[in-house]
Each structure stands twice: as C-alpha cells, then as structure tokens.
Structure 1
Amino acid sequence: MLRTVLRLTPTFIFPIFEQKNANDYNMLNLPVSTVPESGWDRVNKMYSKDEYDEVSTELHTVVQASLCGAFVGACMGGFTSSRQAYLYFIENNQATIFKSTMQAKKKLQDYVTVAFAKGAYRWGWRLGSFTGIFSLVATTISVYQNNTSVLEYVMAGAIAGGLYKVNLGLAATCVGAGLGSILGLIGGCVILGLLHLVGVNMDDIRAALYKVKEARVDQYNQALEKSAKIKNDDLTRHHQELIQEKGQQKIEDVK
C-alpha cells in the first residue's frame, strides 16, 4: 500500500522519491545501462565478483557500514563499562589494604581494562551485526527495485529488529520488528531528505566510498613498491661492494 501511494504521489510533493535521468552518469564515470535488466539480475551482480575478483560497490558499502557500526558499538560499550567499573572499584575498595599506591593503581587499571574489553566485545558485535543486517537488506531491496525509497529502510529495520530479538521468543520478535520498522522509517526519511538536499543518491555515495577504497589500495601498493625498490637498491649496492672487495668469480670456479 505504501509503495502504491508513493508511486501515485506527484514528485513535486515528495521530490525525494524522484528518480534520476536515464542518461546521467554515475560517479565511476560509467554510463547508465539502457539494456533492460530484471531485479534478480541486478541482485546476482551485486553478490558476484568482477573480473578483478573484487566485490561489488554495494557489498563494499555494506562491509564498511558493518565495520563502522562495530567500531561505534565497541567505543560506546567500552567507555560505558570502564566508567562503571571505575566507580564500582572505588566504592567497593575503600577499606581494602594495598601494599602500595602502585599496587592499587595497577589493580584499578587491570579491572577497568578488563571491563572495557568486555563492554567493547558485548556491544561491538551486536551493533555491527544489526548495522550489517540492516544495510544488507536495504541495499538488496534497493538494487532489486533499481531505486531508493523509504520502503527498503522500513523493511530492513523490521527484519533487523526481529532478528535481534528472535532469541527472546515470538512476542519479543514482533516488538523488535515493529520498533525496527519505525526507526527505519525515521532514518529513511532523514537519509533521503539529506540526499535530496545535497543533490546525490545512494549510488553516488557507494561509488565515492569505492573510490576511497581504490585510492587507499593504490597508496598502499605504491608504498610497498617504494620500500621494495629501497631494499633492492641497498642489496644491490652491498653486492657491488662485495664484488669490488673480493673480485668477480665464475660459478665453475666455486667448489
């Protein structure tokens, strides 16, 4: 029903649902293909590697979103748990006798560090998994429809929220799906609104992230090549010095 309403709604009322012109070029400087493709063909291309054995830009974006979610969750969980551990240690060890101040500081540091690691692990994998599932479902639906709308964010939020609470039973799964769909609706409206204000779409964002990855890999390869040249130059120079000291010797003369 929501999809039908969005299709019948004029684009001057909700311009964020307006598609780009078919003759536009994406950020990878590739013309938009005019050959008709089915939704499953696009999804299959998304989950397939190219001729260079690299994943698609859509999957690369999903991986980046998952890692970003895991990092944010690890930071939030680690800092929160370490703060609680610090306060708990201070409150419950006021009467504890330590041999020295250094021992007390070491015990406190160890306790806070362990709490930070536990909190980072507990929240990192949860938020990373939730973000990954949400991003994967939303991207897959968007690729299948060949368009970006609020619908995929709502469905992705419902699926991610339901899977997040599936271990607590059917009721908790339904509640999680409902809350996830509401959050997905809010997040989708905000994201699409911002994209419309800046004049780009999700394909441009994915292409930009993929270009950043290519630039990072290129810089890494250049650094490896430079270090290899320096190493080889030093080795060659040392070899020439040995030849000058001991002179050249044929392999046949070596016993």
Structure 2
Amino acid sequence: MIRTAIRLTPTFAFPFFEKRNINDHDKLHNPEPQTVDTGLERVKKMFQRDEFEEVSVELHNVIQATLSGSFIGACFGGFLKSRDAYIKFIERNQATAFTSTMQAKKQLQDHVTIGFAKGAVHWGWRLGLFTGCFSLITTVIAVYRGEPSLVDYIMAGALTGGMYKANLGIAATIVGATLGGALSAIGGLLILNILKISGVSMDEIRGALYKIKLAREDQYNQVLEKSAKEKHDNLTRHHDKLVTEKGEKKIEEIS
C-alpha cells in the first residue's frame, strides 16, 4: 500500500519520493556516466585539493555559505545594537550638560559605533557557525548519498539545532533539534521543488558558482598584470637598455 501511494504521488509535490531522471541534464540526451566511487570516497574527495591546490566545489560553497552567514549576521546584529545604543544614549543623557554640540555628537557616535561592533560580533559568529554547520552537514550527506534529498535538510537542521542549544541542557537540545528539523524540512522541500521546476541540479548550481569565482579571479589577475606592466614599463625599458649597452654578465663575473 505504501509503495503504491509513493508510486502514485506526484514528484512535483514530494520530490524526495522519486529520484531525478538521469537524462534531465545531459545535453546529448544520453545517460550520465555512472561512477563507481563509494560514498566514503566521494566525501574524501570533497575535502581534498586538486592539482592546482584548489578546494573542491562543494567545500568552496560551504565556505561561501559560512562567510555569507557571518556577514549577514554581523550586519543584522550591528544595526540592531547600534539602534539600541542610540536610543539608550538619548534617554540617559537628556539632562546631561555637554560643553559643546561636537562633544555630544562625538560621544553619541562612539556609543553607536561600539554598539554596532558588539552586535556584529555577537550575531556574526553565531549565524556564521550555524550556517556553516548546516551547509557542511547537508553537503556531506548529499555527497555521500550521491544526490540531494529532503532527508539531508532534515538531518542537517536537526543536528545543527541540537548542537546550537546543547549548552542549555537535554530538553533545550531536543527542542532545538525538533525545531531545526521542522524548519529545514520546509526549506528543503521548497528548494527541491524549485530545482525540480527549473530543471537544474544542485551540482550544476555549485559548478556555476565555482565558475563565477574562477572568472572573478581571472579578471583580478588580468587587472593586476595590466597594472604591473603599466607601472614598471619605464623601468623595464631602462633595464633592457642597460643590458643591451653593457651586455649580459654571469653571476661569477660580478665582483
């Protein structure tokens, strides 16, 4: 009965019940080559560098997710705390006599800046750690299984939520794991449905983001090379002129 329900259930609503068609992303309309790597070997490759000493695409996306979470958390916490610092300063110093307007503005700016820094640190590392753990666990499970599924998000959300509340006791850990798993199930179901509708895979998205990183680095290197050529062009011409006039010398001939 369960198998019949699963077979008849549309994958659009529940994409974790059925695997993706192996022909969906093949431009030549041929099945993708099946790899013989085991799940453990794929996970090991994820943490290994390639011949150019570059990290894997999966690990690169985990790092980017961690940095993005830290940045968003720092901005959110900084703006929140700076606003509280501004309001508290106004409330506490309504009857304070300042020597000048500049002194009042300077102290207000100092309080707001310190509040922003405290909020950025307080929220930045927490959200970055939470995002990094969730992304890492999700990616590792998906790499081990060979394809993303709703189970990856539920397990990652439950583990991350449980670890986040582990210092508050067993009850808080269970609540955090339950809440994390439920929220991750909603988010994972939404993501998988979007992938199903768009016809792309998570590997293709990771590959596209990695290509954007390589393109950005290539443009950066080209700008540096162009700048170096323009900056040292006169020096290079002067060096070539001296070498032409005096000739090349070996190191042994230089006293």
- TM bucket normalised to smaller: 0.7 to 0.9
Structure 2 residue matching 1:19: 3-state secondary structure:
coil
Match of 2:10 among 13, 35, 58: 13
Per the TM alignment, residue 147 of structure 1 is displaced from its structure 2 partner at its CA by 1.4
Residues 26, 204 of structure 1: 8 Å contact kept: no
CA contact (8 A) 2:25 2:200 kept: no
Taking every aligned residue pair, what percent have the same amino acid on both sides?
56
What secondary structure, in the 3-state scheme, does the structure 2 residue paired with 1:131 have?
Answer: helix
Pair 1:249–1:139, CA change in 2 (3 A)? closer
Measured after TM superposition, the shift of residue 32 of structure 1 is 4.3
Q: Structure 2 length normalisation: TM-score?
A: 0.86
TM superposition shift of 1:236: 2.4
Aligned length: 244
The letter for the 2-side match of 1:61 is N
After TM superposition, list the pairs within 5 Å mapping 1:204-219 onto structure 2.
204-219=204-219
Q: How does 1:73-88 map to 2 (within 5 A)?
A: 73-88=73-88
Distance across 1 between alignment mates of 2:118 and 2:61: 28
**Equivalent AA in structure 2 for residue 13 of structure 1:** P
The code of the aligned residue for 1:58 comes to E
Question: Shift of residue 83 of structure 1?
Answer: 0.4
Answering whether residue 66 of structure 2 is matched by residue 66 of structure 1, we say yes
Runs of 5+ unmatched residues, structure 2: none
When residues 137 and 240 of structure 1 are mapped into structure 2, their CA distance, relative to the original with a 3 A threshold, is: closer
Cα gap change, 1:159/1:26 in structure 2, threshold over 3 Å: closer, same or farther?
A: farther
- 1:140 corresponds to: 140
Q: C-alpha offsets along residues 73-115 of structure 1, whole Å, 9 cap, x if unaligned? A: 1111000000011000001101111110000000000100000
Q: Which amino acid aligns with 2:146?
A: N
| Aligned-pair CA distance for 1:184 | 0.7
| Structure 1 residue 190 displacement after superposition | 1.2
Q: Which moved more, 1:220-229 or 1:181-190?
A: 220-229
Contact persistence 1:26–1:203 (CA under 8 A): no
List runs of 5+ in structure 1 lacking aligned partners. none
TM-score after normalising by structure 1 = 0.86
Determine the structure 2 residue equivalent to 1:100. Answer: 100
Question: 1:113-136 CA distances to partner (integer Å, 9 max, x unpaired)?
Answer: 000010001000000000000000
CA deviation profile, 1:201-239 (whole Å, cap 9, x unmatched)? 211111111111111111111112112212331212455
CA contact (8 A) 1:158 1:179 kept: yes
How far apart, in 2, do the equivalents of 1:8 and 1:120 lie?
49
Conservation of the 8 A alpha-carbon contact between 1:57 and 1:210: yes
